[in-house]
C-alpha cells in the first residue's frame, strides 16, 4: 500500500513538473513516458 501511495505521489509530481515546463527545460520529458508505460498494464488488467 505504501508503494502505491509513493507511486501516485511521484506521478503527481511528474505531472506538475510537466505542465509547468520544468521537465522540458531539464530534457527529462521521457519521465512522463516511463510513468505512462508503467500505468498501461494496470489499465489493461482493470
Q: Say how far apart CA 18 and CA 14 lie, in whole Å.
A: 6
* Domain spans of the chain, in order of start: 2-45
- Integer angstrom CA distances of residue 22 from 9, 18, 32: 17, 6, 12
Cβ atoms within 10 Å of 18's Cβ, excluding its own: 16
pTM (two decimals): 0.79
pLDDT in tens, 1-26: 888 889 889 999 999 999 999 999 99
13: which 3 cell numbers? 509530481
Amino acid at each position: 500500500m505504501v508503494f502505491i501511495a509513493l507511486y501516485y505521489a511521484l506521478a503527481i509530481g511528474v505531472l506538475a513538473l510537466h505542465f509547468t515546463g520544468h521537465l522540458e527545460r531539464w530534457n527529462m520529458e521521457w519521465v512522463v513516458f516511463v510513468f505512462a508505460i508503467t500505468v498501461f498494464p494496470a489499465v489493461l488488467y482493470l
